[in-house]
Amino acid sequence: MSGTDGDVQDRSGAIVRPPIAWLAAVGGGLLLDGAYPLPFLGGATAGRLVGVCIFLAGLALLLWAATTFRRAGTEIQTTQPTTAIVETGPYRFTRNPIYIGMFLGLIGLALAFDSVWLVILLVPFYLVIRYGVVAREEAYLERKFESRYLAYKARVRRWL
């Protein structure tokens, strides 16, 4: 499959763009928290500070992964063809560092905003990413890169 021959199948077929799913989870959690607050830290400042640190760690991981993709000359967007299997940077440790960064970001915000709603919405966010995005990406990469992707998949875990 080539991204230059107009083949519409040369993409993952993800059901949603991951940043949109993440923003929906965050926005929905914050709206629910505003309407029906469900704190779980009891106003603990230390917990909120830990949340900010976790959020920043997730952001740093996401940026490292995105930069690694750009350096490899391949697309980050799920709507575009992938041109390479990236095996450097955070991709040495996990096949999905961008999504892990998003999960960490959501967990960090849940702590920073002291919101159970953000924790609850982590579950549907995970399910959408795991089954609607990652499963489709993996099937696409297996079709496109065959044995090269299968070897990478055998060496590197999906998550951690």
Task: Indicate the pLDDT class of residue 78, thresholds 50, 70 and 90.
Answer: confident
- As given in the structure block, the two tokens for residue 104 are 């960490």
pLDDT attached to residue 43: 73
Domain limits for position 95: 18-155
Cα dihedral 85→91→97→99 (10° resolution): 20
pLDDT, tens only, 102-148: 999 999 999 999 999 999 999 999 999 999 999 999 999 999 999 99
Residue 160: inside a domain, yes or no?
no
Residue 32: inside a domain, yes or no?
yes
Cα dihedral 11→13→15→18 (10° resolution): -20
Residue type, 148: R
**C-alpha distance across the termini of the chain, in Å:** 30
Structurally, how many domains does the chain consist of?
A: 1
Residue 13: inside a domain, yes or no?
no
pLDDT, tens only, 6-55: 454 788 989 999 999 999 999 999 999 999 999 998 877 898 999 999 99
Alpha-carbon span 160 to 158, nearest angstrom: 7
Alpha-carbon span 22 to 24, nearest angstrom: 5
Residue 69: inside a domain, yes or no?
yes
Residue 10: inside a domain, yes or no?
no
Identify which of 3, 9, 19, 111 has the alpha carbon closest to the alpha carbon of residue 56.
111
Residues in the chain: 160
